[in-house]
Amino acid sequence: MSIVVMKFGGTSVADADNIRAAARRAIRTQNKGHRVVMVVSAMGKTTDKLEALAYEVSRGKQPPKREWDQLMVTGEQVTISLMAMALEGLGASAISFTAAQIGMVTDERHTKARIKRIAADRIHEQLDAGKIVIIAGFQGVTEAGHATTLGRGGSNVTLVAIAAAIDADVCENYTDVDGVYTTDPRLVPTARKIKTISYDEMLELASLGANVLHNRAVEFAKKYNVPIHVRSSLNNRKGTMIVPKTESMERIAVSGAALKDKIARISLKRVPDRPGVAARIFHKMATHNVVVDDIIQTISPHKTAVIAFTVDLVDLPEARNVCDDLARSLKCQVMYEDHMAKVSVVGVGMRIHTGVAERMFAALAKAKINIENITTSEIKISCLVNQSQGVKALRAVHDVFELGGKRRATKPKKKKTRRKKK
């Protein structure tokens, strides 16, 4: 008997009807002979409402993180018990567990805790008794019994962690989209659902703005080798399987393309080219909580360097303060460009296929899009472009790699050139 862990996000449990639909789906899965564990999020806008209340009672002060978590975990607790009632109402046998009850122990870092261990025995015990086990996503408990939450994408982290702990055969992540697409279908109408994608590709796509599954969950899944099936709670169609890399995947150079907008580029010019300068710059940024994305350093004449990097547009004012200071003390120039966008292609096949970069650049050139920066990883190529040309650039690269049409293996060409990132 295989074990299936099914996770239902906020929109999939938004009201009583949705909860009952999810319950029926779990029962169908159980009726097929599987053992079923459900991981559920807070209902629809519950978390938003709790947040609003928290700020209202705190009157402008930052609520203490311990109490913030104590409040937030109630959202999922409401859903688990309602889900158990729905299942029992439909004739199934069910039991719900909070993180504290299931022994989902985390460290003490409130609002972004990391899971340390899960008492898998308690889950197996209930599965052995024929029950559908429902577990509150997003939450944990410290050794001392304080409530914690797992941060963004936390429910998916729970999904994967539970699956790993009980050695589940598959994770099913039910959401309001059909699966992972070659790119955002709202921006590129020809975008196509991907049947199978590797953890690494998914990691790159998630960090590029594909909001289906948070990176922490994918990293966890990769670490424990848990396949994730991302699918819609509104239909029975197969979604996208996120799995370890396979050989057949590598026959395709590019699996998906993504656009990230609202980013800013900061360029420090005439930076003294001596050891420790880059470290000093990025240490400063980190202490001011500015998340730095792609970094490029090149050498200019006269033993000076150009160091450029991107930040989220919202972080630009803070980054500007830091960099103005730095420029003064390093006696270098600094340039800020807002309203940039980054278009990227991702594919594990890039490791063995050549010519991917060349093809991407040619497509952008043909569309008359100027490339401001290029960064690459083993399985990704990103180009910084002007924000006004972002969607056009995305469509151009999505098109050139035939992601929207019937998928074809990219013809092998010469090994592509790469610049080193970070």
Give me the residues that bind its own copies (CB under 8 A), please.
Answer: 16, 19-20, 23, 50, 53-54, 56-61, 63-64, 66-68, 70-71, 73-74, 77-78, 80-86, 88-89, 94-96, 98, 100-101, 145-146
92 versus 350: smaller Cβ distance to its own copies: 92
Q: Amino acid identity of 295?
A: I
Minimum Å distance from CB 79 to its own copies? Answer: 9
Minimum Å distance from CB 24 to its own copies? Answer: 12
Q: Which helix (H) or strand (E) element contains residue 249?
A: helix 247-250
73 versus 217: smaller Cβ distance to its own copies: 73
73 versus 213: smaller Cβ distance to its own copies: 73
Mode of pairing for the β-strands spanning 256-272 and 333-346: antiparallel
Minimum Å distance from CB 90 to its own copies? Answer: 8
C-alpha separations of 415 from 253, 334, 355 in Å: 12, 35, 6
75 versus 179: smaller Cβ distance to its own copies: 75
Measured in residues, the chain has a length of: 422
51 versus 219: smaller Cβ distance to its own copies: 51
Minimum Å distance from CB 61 to its own copies? Answer: 4
In sequence order, what are the residues at sequence separation of 6 or more whose Cβ sits closer than 8 angstroms to the Cβ of residue 368? none
Minimum Å distance from CB 97 to its own copies? Answer: 9
C-alpha separations of 57 from 52, 70, 78, 97, 352 in Å: 9, 15, 22, 29, 57
Nearest Cα to Cα of residue 21 among 174, 229, 163: 174
Sheet with 228-232: list strands edge to edge.
94-97, 132-136, 35-40, 3-8, 170-175, 228-232, 240-243, 196-198
**E strands, 155-237, where?**
170-175, 196-198, 228-232
Minimum Å distance from CB 13 to its own copies? Answer: 10
37 versus 80: smaller Cβ distance to its own copies: 80
